[in-house]
Amino acid sequence: MDALPPYALAEPVFPFRALALATSKAPLGGVREALMATLVAVRLAAASQGPGVLPAVLRAERASAARHWMGALTLPATVRTALGQLLDASVRDQPAALATALANVTEVTAPHLDRKARSELDRLARAIGA
C-alpha cells in the first residue's frame, strides 16, 4: 500500500542533499565556507531555470545579498571568482552562460566534493543546458 491518497501532497525533495551533507561534514574554516557559499549560489542558479523559476528582480536581490554575505567569508580567489560569475549568470536569462558558470564552480570546488555532491551539480548543469 505505497500509493498516496488522492488528496495527499507530494513530499518535497531537496535537490542538493549530498552537497548540504558535504557542507555539514566539512571541518570549520575555509572548506566549509566554500561549500556553504557553493550551496547558496547553486540554489540560486537552480531557481533561475525550470518550473520553479524566480522572477529576475527577485533573483537580482538574492544574488546581491549572497554576494554581500560571501564578502565576509574566507574564500580562495578562484572559488570567489567562480561563485561571483555563477551569481551574475543566475540573474540573466542565458542558460549557456549559467551552465558554463556552474561548470566552473564544479571544477574549482571538486577537491572538496564527494561523488554524490558532484553528480548533483552535474545534473543541474545538464538540466540547464538542455
Residue 96 lies in a domain: yes
Residue 105 lies in a domain: yes
For the chain, how many residues are written?
130
Kindly report each contact of residues 81-84 with a partner whose C-beta sits within 8 Å and lies 24 or more positions away, as own/partner: 82/107, 82/108, 82/109, 83/37, 83/38, 83/41
List, run by run, the mean pLDDT of 10-residue segments along the chain (130 residues). Answer: 76 90 92 96 92 90 97 94 96 92 95 94 88
Residue 64 lies in a domain: yes
Residues 68-79 pLDDT 10s? 999 999 999 999
Residue 66 lies in a domain: yes
pTM: 0.88
Residue 81 lies in a domain: yes
Task: Residue 50: give the domain boundaries.
Answer: 20-129
